[in-house]
Amino acid sequence: MKKSKLIILCCMGAILVAVGGYLLFGGHGDEEDEAIIAAVQKKADENPDVTLENIHYVETKGKKKEWELRAKSGQHFLQDDYTTLNDISVTFYAEGGRTVTLTGGKGSMKGRKEIEVSDHVVITSSDGYRVVTSSLHYDAQRKQIFNQDPVLLEGKGVRIKGIGVVVDLQTKKLSILRKVETVIEG
């Protein structure tokens, strides 16, 4: 049981690291994939194979803390290779003491390729930046974080609002897709 818990947390954490990694260091889902994930989420109301409570996981590299995951609860469904987490908080640690924290009410992962964090997603960095949206999706194959929801990015005298976002982790580019409004203060 402890090995299953560790595997689940490692998988969830690895994909969440990709989300925070972009923010720390500087298309869109196919309809078929979305239908598969929706079907698995519906099945998730059934009995899970593994249930976890008060989750706390710390990933280290050598003696250095890389990231830390906390969640109120989680469930894993072995047959579908599907994991859910509730009340998620992930903190990423960078050089020089910089941190980025991602929070959300719910999270899910299908296999090791697709992750979704939803229910008031907030990302804050220790150097004053903040991103607020209702959901984020990560596609490991495309190495992209994206959504079609309203998004707000603010910090250091800049406030950017729009609809939809794509973060390409390979090129380290963030694009707000539509109805972009920018306010520069100061």
Give the other-Cβ count within 10 Å of 10's Cβ: 14
Residue 22 pLDDT level (bands cut at 50, 70, 90): very low
Q: Which amino acid is at 102?
A: L
- Which SS3 state, helix, strand or coil, does residue 46 take? coil
The DSSP annotation for 104-173 comes to EEEEEEETTTEEEEEEEEEEEETTS-EEEEEEEEEETTTTEEEEEEEEEEEETTEEEEEEEEEEETTTTE
CA angle 7, 85, 93 (to 5 degrees): 70
pLDDT(134) > 80:
yes
**Which residues are within 8 A (CB) of 166 and not within 5 positions of it... i.e. 6 or more apart?**
27, 28, 144, 145, 146, 174, 175, 177
Tens digit of each residue's pLDDT (9 = 90 or more) over 151-171: 999 999 999 999 998 888 778
Mean pLDDT of 33-50: 64
Q: What token pair was written down for 68? A: 């830390």
Separation in Å, CA 31 to CA 34, 47, 83, 149: 5, 27, 20, 16
Domains, the chain: 2-184 (2.60.450.10)
Lowest-pLDDT choice from 20-34, 36-50, 112-126, 136-150: 20-34
Give the other-Cβ count within 10 Å of 142's Cβ: 16
CA angle 179, 105, 108 (to 5 degrees): 90
- Asked whether the beta carbons of 130 and 154 are under 8 A apart, the reply is yes
What percentage of residues in the chain have a pLDDT greater than 90?
A: 26
State the pLDDT at residue 58. Answer: 86
pLDDT(82) > 50:
yes
Q: What is the dihedral of CA 104, 105, 108, 114, to 10 degrees?
A: -30
